[in-house]
């Protein structure tokens, strides 16, 4: 008995299976659409807005030009703001590295129970609203705040330190929330490190500090690099903490953008400042990555 065999009841051949690459793109499509709508579209609109002109009487006009960028790049006021912004970000990154590397090393050597407790404590600042957290720091750093009152009561100082409305106060508040990123990045790198190298160094007579400096830090360098990039980028673009702790006295790039948008209503100039900040952060991060990777390549060559 002969007959015609088909792959489907209606006699039609089934569609060809999708390739792996096509399936991956289809599965990623919802996230890509969300990413484009929530990030790329506002970023492109801000980029276009930065080329518009502004007049205090007629408002924003559709004439395009580089006037806003010229105004920013030729004004010493904005150079001071960008210098302060990157100075605060660099100081925050260095302090987070000094705190995060030893803490991650101790975290890697703890028992599972205490490691879980310590991780919860480290992640604590990230579980609190940024506004609530920063207002708490304002209470601590004020002229009559907890810290100054405590030091005056002990007789260590006669006058309160001016920590509010200062760059130092902003750095302290940023370190509180940025340190977890550094700790987690370094801890992840140390989990892949060879613990036998530490034991070998100790057996050869190296002191604990030498072991930490010559063995632990080089092994943790990939985590230090990635953590530094995250901390620097987030600190340079932070808004809520500098706005509350710095106030009107200490302006950074993010608060300058907010002033241009909300106070002077010069949206094109604010957009230009935002785009310059974004470009500067990207350039610094790329250069930073190249330099560190080159040094690591020489070290392991």
Q: Does a structural domain hold residue 130?
A: yes
Q: How many domains does the chain fold into?
A: 1
Residues 6+ apart with CB under 8 A from 226: 185, 189
Q: Does a structural domain hold residue 34?
A: no
| Mean pLDDT in consecutive groups of 10 residues from the start of the chain, 301 residues | 51 66 79 83 88 80 84 90 93 92 85 84 84 87 82 80 85 91 88 74 74 77 86 91 87 89 86 92 86 63 54
The pLDDT of residue 300: 54
The pLDDT of residue 64: 81
| CATH code where residue 202 lies | 1.10.3720.10
The pLDDT of residue 1: 46
Q: Does a structural domain hold residue 4?
A: no
Q: Does a structural domain hold residue 148?
A: yes
The pLDDT of residue 9: 58
Q: Which domain holds residue 199?
A: 90-250
- Specify the residue for token string 């991780």: 119
The pLDDT of residue 298: 58
The answer to whether the beta carbons of residues 104 and 186 sit under 8 Å apart is yes
Q: Does a structural domain hold residue 220?
A: yes
The answer to whether the beta carbons of residues 59 and 141 sit under 8 Å apart is no
Q: Does a structural domain hold residue 62?
A: no
The pLDDT of residue 91: 94
Distances in whole angstroms, Cα of residue 141 to Cα of each of 114, 135, 169, 245:
31, 10, 7, 9
Q: Does a structural domain hold residue 158?
A: yes
Q: Does a structural domain hold residue 29?
A: no
């Amino acid at each position: 008995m002969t007959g015609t065999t088909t792959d489907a009841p209606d006699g039609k051949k089934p569609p060809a299976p999708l390739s792996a690459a096509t399936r991956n793109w289809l599965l990623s499509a919802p996230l890509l659409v969300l990413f484009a709508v929530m990030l790329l579209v506002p970023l492109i609109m801000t980029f276009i807005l930065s080329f518009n002109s502004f007049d205090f009487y007629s408002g924003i006009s559709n004439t395009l030009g580089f006037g806003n960028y010229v105004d920013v790049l030729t004004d010493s006021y904005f150079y001071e703001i960008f210098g302060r912004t990157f100075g605060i970000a660099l100081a925050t990154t260095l302090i987070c590295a000094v705190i995060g590397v030893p803490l991650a090393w101790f975290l890697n050597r703890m028992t599972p129970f205490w490691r879980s407790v310590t991780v919860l404590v480290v992640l604590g600042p990230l579980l609190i609203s940024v506004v609530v957290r920063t207002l708490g720091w304002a209470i601590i750093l004020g002229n009559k705040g907890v810290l100054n009152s405590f030091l005056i009561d002990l007789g260590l100082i006669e006058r309160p330190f001016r920590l509010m409305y200062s760059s130092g106060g902003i750095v302290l508040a940023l370190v509180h929330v940025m340190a977890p990123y550094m700790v987690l990045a370094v801890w992840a790198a140390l989990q892949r490190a060879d613990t036998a190298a530490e034991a070998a160094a100790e057996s050869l007579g190296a002191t604990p500090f030498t072991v930490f400096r010559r063995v632990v830090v080089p092994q943790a360098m990939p985590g230090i690099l990635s953590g530094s990039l995250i901390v620097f980028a987030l600190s340079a673009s932070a808004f809520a903490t500098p706005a509350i702790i710095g106030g009107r006295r200490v302006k950074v790039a993010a608060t300058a953008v907010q002033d241009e948008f909300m106070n002077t209503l010069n949206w094109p100039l604010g957009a230009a400042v935002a785009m310059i900040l974004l470009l500067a952060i990207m350039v610094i991060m790329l250069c930073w990555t190249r330099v560190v990777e080159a040094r690591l390549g020489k070290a392991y060559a």
